[in-house]
Amino acid sequence: MNEPRPGVANTKEPARSVRTVRERQVVLLEGLASLAMQQRGVLATEDLSPLPDLLTQRQVLIDELVSLDAWCEAQPASSHTGCDALRARVREMATQVRTQDEADLRLMQQRMEAAKQELAELRGSTRALGAYAQAGPSDAMAQDIMG
């Protein structure tokens, strides 16, 4: 009578164990670390076109990681027995990816600031060219000579 029946949940055995979920998290974090390295490579180039696809791939992994972590945290303490090392590894790997992401964010912010400065310099050059164009050739030469 204790045989599983189709369509009826077996409450004596969880569908997955904390250990298998933590092992899945390790696999996901390895994938996330790989994508983070690819992201770093893209950021080192001038062509950022692969970035949206990488970020989409990363988000899929992150969503699953968050879901699995919430599931693990909701499990009774007794089901975590023997998983401390695995949990520590998950946390360490997540910290490494986060550190890489923070460095990449700083790099992107620096690139944005450099682009802003370059645009500001171009605007200044454009204004100077506009002033020369409005003044006419002889006026512009006189301005250059007179200072």
- Position 87 scores a pLDDT of 92
Does residue 147 lie within any of the structural domains? no
8 Å CB contact between 25 and 62: no
8 Å CB contact between 38 and 78: no
Distance between CA atoms of residues 79 and 24, nearest Å: 16
Q: Kind and range of the H or E element at 4?
A: none
Count structural domains, the chain: 1
Distance between CA atoms of residues 59 and 123, nearest Å: 37
8 Å CB contact between 73 and 65: no
pTM of the entire predicted model? 0.69
What is the domain extent for residue 93? 18-111
Does residue 76 lie within any of the structural domains? yes
Does residue 122 lie within any of the structural domains? no
Does residue 131 lie within any of the structural domains? no
82-111: pLDDT as tens digits: 899 999 999 999 999 999 999 999 998 998
**Does the pLDDT at position 6 exceed 70?**
no
User: What mean pLDDT is predicted for residues 33-54?
Assistant: 93
* CA nearest to 24, candidates 79, 78, 77, 71: 71
Does residue 7 lie within any of the structural domains? no
**Does the pLDDT at position 4 exceed 60?**
no
